[in-house]
Structure 1
């Protein structure tokens, strides 16, 4: 595997070269196991990072054979949250077998991580995995987004006064889910999504979030409006699920291709870099 630092715009296209903070590259290269890929998720991916937003580094790593052949498999998930080189980092990666297994379930998180255009580390196998994963997107991924948005909405309501940031997460989830049901594509950037959905209030909410905490709370009048929008968009997501022409289950060819890729990666792990 050859590591590159890349970024792209279309989640299903070839990425293009990026120049980014070299600390991210050093942090990524210091991870305990070889990486199939590493991308940035969270507010940076969603299109509304604040100057103090942490970096959510997500990826898939490759455990050595001796770690996966025994009775107990350790480090299937590696997590690390701390300040590194002055950057607030939240790092989560899954071993490739676990990551591939999650792709075969209605898990929107791993799809968003895989197709994130904010790529810090990539390999030829990363692009191969993105090609395979197109066959794993199903209409039942809507259940992930409907369940996730319920949790996000409850978190938003618990805060007093209610804040803009969790509200943006609510709308991001709803629009990502609806877009996937309509197009079969993975798009997590709220700014990009709104080019199609054209919600007139989103640019102001995003600007308030970016401008700092003093503008990032909402009034009771705001809350009534945004509740009605939440209910409307949730109903649209449910309708998009019902109308979706996406497959009911991952393609069998995608399952077989994931199995073949996993075996190949395991066999060559000793020479990967």
Structure 2
């Protein structure tokens, strides 16, 4: 597995975790993405490995951006803007989703924290000059309204937790609320829950939940913490996210739209090449 140098702090990116330290299985992910159709702008690891709570049987979530030829966008055929593939590789479940560069840019401009996390993931499997340019533009894409993404995601995951009682949706709920609070307060994207616990005030039992999830993918949260306490703490985190959004220095709208447009055009025309 290849690793990339630490990204400059001026880009607002958290220090990389490194592929070897993220609990990933011993698989050549570079070879996996090299098998995919067409040029890739980048490929990173997302999901539980990025969030810091993988279990022994967690699948590998690969996310990235591919580059369609110009003819695919101007002809009569519908462009293949999103490619999804799930398969088993030597007993390991692989999940790969990539978007064409233009669609990915549109998602970035919709204040989608999920795609920002994919772009800024320190678990880099493939990178290019265009990827590095996208990373450099990321601080200009952050807005106060990214809080809506994390608030909505947390609400969905909490409802799932209430139905199942499982650790996974609970950890997602906690993770996205703390990521949103961290982003609103400091203007940085941090999806890694163990790091968040060290940087943002969080319930004391979160490390226990992470340890339980590592031991059993579908473990029950009630074995670690009382459900009534959980509800109180989740409600308090929502209040903190609301307050952090109200006080944030982040702007209302992204400021890098024109630069993002220019990057798409130059990359599509081969300047820089996606195969650098």
Given candidates 26, 34, 45, the residue that maps to 2:31 is: 26
Please tell me the root mean square deviation across aligned C-alpha atoms, in Å: 2.4
- The answer to whether the 8 Å contact 1:46/1:172 transfers is yes
> Quick one: structure 1 residues 49 and 7, their matched pair in 2 at CA, closer, same or farther if it must change by over 3 Å?
farther
Structure 1 stretch displaced more, 175-184 or 21-30: 21-30
Unaligned runs of 5+ in 2: none
Report if aligned partners of 2:17, 2:123 keep a CA contact under 8 Å in 1: no
Please say if residues 190 and 196 of structure 2, whose CA atoms lie closer than 8 Å, have aligned partners that are also in contact.
yes
Match of 1:167 in 2: 170
For 2:136, the equivalent position in structure 1 comes to 131
TM-score by length of 1: 0.90
Contact 2:117–2:191, Cα closer than 8 Å, also in 1: yes
Query: Is the counterpart of residue 262 in structure 1 residue 264 in structure 2?
Result: yes
Distance across 2 between alignment mates of 1:158 and 1:38: 33
**Aligned mate of 1:211, from 215, 223, 236:** 215
Match of 2:13 in 1: 12
Structure 2 length normalisation: TM-score? 0.89
1:234 counterpart (235, 238, 249): 238
Whole-angstrom distance in 2 between the partners of 1:171 and 1:224: 15
**Aligned residues of 1:137 and 1:250 also touching (Cα < 8 A):** yes
215 and 79 in structure 1: CA distance in 2 versus 1, 3 angstrom threshold? closer
Decide which of 249, 254, 262 is 2:253's aligned counterpart: 249
Equivalenced residues, count:
266
How many Å apart are 1:177 and its aligned residue?
A: 0.6
Task: Tell me what 1:186 maps to.
Answer: 189
Q: Counterparts of 1:165 and 1:22 in 2: how far apart (Å)?
A: 24
